[in-house]
Structure formats: structure tokens, C-alpha cells
Amino acid sequence: MRAMLSRLGHRDYWSAHGGYLRSAWPGLLLCIVVGLAAAFVAGTLGGPPMLYALLFGTAFHFQSHDARTQPGVDAAMRTVLRLGIGLLGARITAGQIADLGWTTAGITLLALASTVAFGVLMARWLGLSWSMGLLAGGATAICGAAAALAIAAALPAYMDKERNTLAVVVLATVLSTAAMLLYPLLAHALQLPPALAGIFIGASIHDVAQVIVAGYSLGPGAGDTATVVKLLRVSMLAVVVVAITLISRHRFGLPRELPAVTKPAFPVPGFLMLFMGMVAANSSGLLQPAVQSALAGSSTACLIVGATALGMKTSFKGLANMGWRPIVLMLLNTVWIAGFVLLAIEISRHP
């Protein structure tokens, strides 16, 4: 009898999950195909693949309301996206962060913390929501589109969440690309030596890819420093998302537009635990180069699919209705972090 009940229980489990997969696969497949198209165009023409994925996704906005594809689009935006964020940790080791030194680490972390706080304050000043300030400040301070997606995943559901996230991701990518072109020229004009130029590039540009391009355009010394500084910022994603998760699960500090949420038994999201586990595994040498490369590629693929789904959830019309305030907010955050880092570098050069 016990064995029979056990078999029935397994049958019910697989039946339920099989039904979910049957309903989700059309939307998931659509996101994958559109994401592959975006990656192909990015590889052919150049440019950030996540931005192409977002823009391509918005062209299929109508599919996010179709009963045949909606479950899969929702799954891609939640499960696949969070998996990609968790796998980001495979790019980072504790040794890389330790080699920076206290001064560089201090400048980077102070710039990060001040930018997040500045984003929240400027959002309130511009009449935007507390959560929009967190998205803008976190995207600027940590790692652009990936940070915005991670922070959005940690926030509870609320009205316009997808639209706010899409706006921040698009603006962060555009501003990061502009910084990639302008900041090396600024570093050259200021006659920054390679190490300090690398700190400036790595601590102020939003996205990882643009940091690498801008850093190595100034030489291998600046490129190596910029990459590791950027990895320090990426590693702080876990700390920031945990803090946001804890705040959003309590009454204190909960954005007014968010509904009350039930406090979970364990407040750390699963994708964040995966992120920290990947950092630990990579730091201990458990990940062979081939495995590490495969995980990094899988992270990028999942983020592209998730960004495609995010684009499908929001229309250009809805994005245009946001007005000028989000643009001003992201511009102010970008100027703030660049100015903060340059000032700190000058102070460190002439104590």
C-alpha cells in the first residue's frame, strides 16, 4: 500500500510538472529563437546583445498576452533570467578582489554605495518611486543591465515593474556604450597613468563588456585593472540584492506602491545563493577553465533569453509614457559615479 501511494505521489508530481512544461514550452521556445536572432545581429553588426534582445522582444509584445505563449514568457522572465544572474558568479574569484588593495577597493565600494543612495534620493526629488531609484542606482553602481534585472527579480511584484526595469536596462546600456567611447578620451585628457585610468574605467562604466573594451583601448595595464575593479562591483551584486530583499520583506522601508508581502522562511533568493556558490567554487579552483567558460557562456545565454522576455512584457508605447524623468535620473546617476571616482582618484594622487 505504501509503495502504491508513493508511486501515485510521484505520478501526480510529474503530471503537474509535465503540464507546466507543456504550457510553457511555446513561449520559452519563442524567447530562445528571438534571443538567438538578437545574438546573431549583435555578433554581426556589433553592440550589446542584451540591448538587441530587449528591443527585439518589444516587437513581440503581443505574445506576452497570448494564452499559448504567456506561461513560457513569464517563465523566461523569472526562472531563466534568475538562473543567468546566479551563474554570473562563475566569472569572479576572491583572489582577484583581494589583489586590488584597500585604496582601490575603498574608492570602488564608496562609489557604489553613494550611487545607490543618490539614485533613491534623486528619484524622490524627480517624483519617481523608491523602487525606480533602486533600479537606476543599482544598475549604474554595479553592472548595468544585469544588476537592474537582478534587483527587479528581488523586488516584489508591483504596477509598472516590468516597464521601469525595461527603461533602466535600455538607458543603462545606451549610457554605458556612450561612456565606453568617451571615458578613454577623458582619461587620456586628464593624463591618468594606466593603473588609475583602469580604476576610473572599471569603477564608473555600467556594463562589463563596455568596461573591457574601454579599458583595453588604453592598453593591457589599464584593461587588466579595469576588469578586476569591475568584477569587484559585480561581486557586490549579492550584498545589494540581499539588502534589498530584506528591506522589501519588512514594513520598514517598503515602497508605498508595493503590496504587503509574506515574509519567507529564508530571505535570500535561490539565484543569489547560486551566485555566491559560483564565486566560492571559482575561488577554490573547483571550476576548470573549460567549465568556467561554459558557465559564463550559459549565464550570458540565460540573460539574453530573460531580457527577450522582459522586452516582450513591455511595449514602446508604455515606455514612452514614462516621460523625461527616468532619462534625467539615469544621466544624473552616471555623472555622479564618474565624478565621484575621478575626485577620489585625484585625492589619492595628491593626499
Query: Three-state SS string across the chain, please?
Result: CHHHHHHHHHHHHHHHHHHHHHHHHHHHHHHHHHHHHHHHHHHHHCCCHHHHHHHHHHCCHHHHHCCCCHHHHHHHHHHHHHHHHHHHHHHCCHHHHHCCCHHHHHHHHHHHHHHHHHHHHHHHHCCCCHHHHHHHHHHHHHHCHHHHHHHHHHCCCCCCHHHHHHHHHHHHHHHHHHHHHHHHHHHHHCCCCHHHHHHHHHHHCCCHHHHHHHHHCCCHHHHHHHHHHHHHHHHCHHHHHHHHHHHHCCCCCCCCCCCCCCCCCCCCCHHHHHHHHHHHHHHCCCCCHHHHHHHHHHHHHHHHHHHHHHHHCCCHHHHHCCCCHHHHHHHHHHHHHHHHHHHHHHHHHCC
Quickly state the pLDDT bin for 262 (edges 50, 70, 90): very low
More confident position, 255 or 233: 233
Q: How far apart are CA 327 and CA 336, in angstroms?
A: 14
Tell how far CA 38 is from the center of its chain. Answer: 18
Q: Is 111's pLDDT higher than 70?
A: yes
Contact 35, 304 (CB under 8 A): yes
Contacts of residue 195, defined as CB under 8 A and 6 or more positions apart, other chains included, come to 221, 222, 225
Percent of the chain with pLDDT over 90: 16
Mean pLDDT over 286-303 rounds to 87
Position 317 scores a pLDDT of 65
Please report the pLDDT score of residue 252 as a whole number: 37
- The yes-or-no verdict on residue 7 having pLDDT over 60 is no
Tally of CA atoms within 13 A in the half-sphere of 47 that contains its CB: 18
pLDDT at 88: 77
Ranking 122-131, 185-194, 285-294, 315-324 by mean pLDDT, the lowest is 315-324
**3-state per-residue secondary structure call for 29-89:** HHHHHHHHHHHHHHHHHCCCHHHHHHHHHHCCHHHHHCCCCHHHHHHHHHHHHHHHHHHHH
Angle at 113 between CA 110 and CA 115, to 5 degrees: 105
Mean pLDDT throughout 204-223? 81
**pLDDT tens sequence across 74-85:** 888 778 877 887
Range scoring the smallest mean pLDDT among 45-54, 198-207, 245-254, 336-345: 245-254
Mean pLDDT of the chain: 79
Name which of 109-113, 122-126, 148-152 the model is least confident about.
Answer: 148-152
pLDDT classification of 53: cutoffs 50, 70, 90: confident
What pLDDT was estimated at residue 259?
42
| pLDDT surpasses 70 at 12 | no
pLDDT (0 to 100) of residue 199: 92
Confidence of residue 72 (pLDDT cuts 50, 70, 90): confident
Stretch 282-293: mean pLDDT = 87
Position 348 pLDDT exceeds 70 = yes
Mean pLDDT across the stretch 332-336? Answer: 95
Band of pLDDT at residue 251, cut at 50, 70 and 90: very low
* Contact (CB, 8 A) for 88 and 345: no
- Give the predicted TM-score (pTM) of the model: 0.67
